[in-house]
Amino acid sequence: MDMTPKLSLQSFERLKSQKQIGLLFEEGQSSFKFPFKLVYLIQPRSENEWPLSFAVTVPKRKFKKAVERNLIKRRTKEAYRINKSLLQEKLMSGNIKMSLIFIYLDSELKKFTVIEKSIKHHLNALLTQTTVNR
């Protein structure tokens, strides 16, 4: 696995493990910036482990149609993919890993610019927090 940050979103960067997701909700911290709630967990990282993994969830209760849920997920993944590099580089130089899950809380579909602004805010907040923790 190449440890150089890219602007792509590889399979190993996605948070898929039910065990890790459960741990994230049990022990993780959260922050809110409309329309997303971010739940994150900072842990020590082993040598060949990728430092940043993430997932997106959109409640079926608020968006009955899968087409709308998938559109929000695609917009969120794209905003994350474009803006993750600063945080990813910071984590690469350290020995910590971070798991993130973005939960969409609004009940209406938002434009990409609103979603990207919220994702940027969350990532910048995490960047300053990891800088303070070192």
pLDDT value for 93: 81
For residue 35, say if its preceding peptide bond is cis, omega within 30 degrees of 0.
yes
CATH number at 84 reads 3.30.230.10
* pLDDT tens column, 89-122: 888 887 888 999 999 999 999 999 999 999 999 9
How distant is the alpha carbon of residue 130 from its chain centre? 15
- Cα distance between residue 128 and residue 82, in whole Å: 18
CA distance 131 to 134: 6
Q: Give per-residue pLDDT as tens, 20-74.
A: 899 999 999 999 999 999 999 988 888 788 888 999 999 999 999 999 999 999 9
User: 86 in a domain, yes or no?
Assistant: yes
Say whether 21 sits in a helix, a strand or coil: helix
The H or E element spanning position 57 is strand 52-57
- Residue 34 resides in a domain: yes
Question: Residue 2 falls within a domain, yes or no?
Answer: no
**Residue 119 and residue 48 in contact, taking contact as beta carbons nearer than 8 Å:** no
Q: Which domain holds residue 129?
A: 12-133
